[in-house]
Amino acid sequence: MLQVIFLGTAGSLPTPDRSLPAILVNREGDLLLFDCGEGTQRQMMIARTGMMRLSHIFLTHLHADHILGIPGLLETMAFQGRENPLVIAGPPRTARMVSILNGLGCCVRDFEIRVLEMRPGDSVRMSGYTVTAIATQHSVPSLGYVLLEDMRPGRFNRERAIEIGVPVGPLFGRLQRGESVEIDGRVVRPEDVLGAPRPGRKIVYSGDTRPTNEIEEASRNADLLIHDGALADDMIDWAVETKHTTAGEAAALAARAGVRRLVLTHISSRYSEDTTPLLNDARKIFPETMIASDLMRIEVPLRDA
């Protein structure tokens, strides 16, 4: 299971239909939050995602619309009796920001908050996957993130296994897990019965940024690219000035990188009534484009090759 839940999809300020930036990834029960705008804990309640299994919050940058949901989320988890540590990762100055937020109000928590300041290329190793920071280009120090699963074993060739004398049963499972087995004094290796290794899934989240070569390279063959698509193409001058990306620019990057699906988020309030201009600009370049909406869920399937 690899599911992405868009908790907040607005840019800079909320609208009646869009909360501030927050994206939750559920990978086999591991919960990771990318950015944490105001009211994120309420969005999690509405989405019924749970909070207690949340292990990491990855911040793209420290603009208020991406971080002001942290105090409320921490207090809600404390009220619910959380005991497990929580990691808050982000660009330089994240530790200072967390310290300031911790000083707000009279807070009593029974869980540890660990801060991790990351730079492009830094990785956090998880069970079966890695989250890596990538360089982005915004008006303050900023990062994007790549979630990349480990390579998976190749497809098990049952007929070949039987042909070379592996009895049907538990030895099949051991071979599929990458273990060699001994049968009548000879060793059967996983590569004797498995096809070529298969790639894990890849999700890229740009955060607020201009389109960059670093994001494009990191997005190569990604299953899902979640990119800043704040503005329509006729707002290109404003996008350059504010260091955001137009829908067409994001689509062109997705096409060059060969991604499977593009989701535009951080939607400007200019498009509160109608996001059609964004979608039209993007789809004429990259048809597999969607506009994120609050509480939208996307399942990212495994691929065979």
Q: Are 21 and 265 in contact (CB under 8 A)?
A: yes
Say which DSSP state 41 is in. Answer: H
Long-range CB contact pairs, 180-183, < 8 A, 24+: none
Q: Are 261 and 229 in contact (CB under 8 A)?
A: no
| Residue 80: C-alpha distances to residues 76, 87, 110 (Å) | 6, 18, 11
- Find the DSSP H helices in the chain: 40-47, 64-67, 70-79, 94-102, 158-163, 170-176, 190-193, 213-218, 236-242, 247-257, 276-283
Alpha-carbon gap, residue 263 to 239, rounded angstroms: 18
Alpha-carbon gap, residue 30 to 128, rounded angstroms: 11
**Among candidates 106, 90, 36, which has minimal Cα distance to 68?**
36
Catalytic residues: 65
